[in-house]
């Protein structure tokens, strides 16, 4: 599970700005998911991608978007940042999109919106 890499690890943005977070899955994994974890809560699902296609979307506004590249890495974009977007953004990697696949999390990107 140490193979999921995310960048940047920490960042501070101003309200109204946009942010791009990046993720590289474990080698050989083709599915990437994004989760938002607000302080004191469990992670909340944002997106799942498999083979460059969106396979699932959580209850997040259209300001959130993502994509997956041919090398299976992924980007999460958030536009028009709000204070409430401050959170730990976690990327998760699994072999495929199958429901029984083990999911491994990266170290996360800590986003602070001021």
Minimum Å gap between C-beta 16 and other proteins is 27
Least distance from other proteins to the Cβ atom of residue 114, Å: 19
CB-nearer residue toward other proteins: 17 or 112: 112
* Distance of closest approach, residue 105 Cβ to other proteins, in angstroms: 5
Whose Cβ is closer to other proteins: residue 70's or residue 100's?
100
Cβ closest to other proteins, residue 59 vs residue 71: 59
Where does this chain bind other proteins (CB under 8 A)?
A: 1, 33, 35, 37, 40-45, 48, 55-56, 58, 90, 92, 97-108
Q: Enumerate residues 6+ apart whose C-beta is below 8 A from 26.
A: 1, 3, 4, 93, 104
Q: Are 75 and 20 in contact (CB under 8 A)?
A: yes
Nearest CA to 90 out of 12, 23, 13 is that of: 23
How many alpha carbons lie under 13 Å from residue 7 in its C-beta half-sphere?
2
């Amino acid at each position: 599970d140490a193979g999921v890499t995310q960048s940047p690890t920490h960042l501070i943005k101003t309200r109204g700005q946009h942010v791009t977070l990046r993720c590289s899955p474990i080698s050989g994994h083709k599915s990437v998911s994004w989760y938002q974890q607000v302080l004191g809560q469990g992670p909340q699902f944002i997106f799942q991608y498999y083979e460059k296609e969106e396979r699932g979307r959580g209850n997040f506004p259209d300001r959130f978007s993502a994509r997956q590249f041919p090398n299976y890495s992924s980007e999460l974009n958030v536009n028009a940042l709000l204070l409430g977007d401050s959170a730990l953004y976690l990327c998760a990697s699994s072999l495929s999109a199958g429901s029984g696949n083990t999911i491994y999390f990266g170290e996360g990107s800590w986003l602070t919106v001021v």
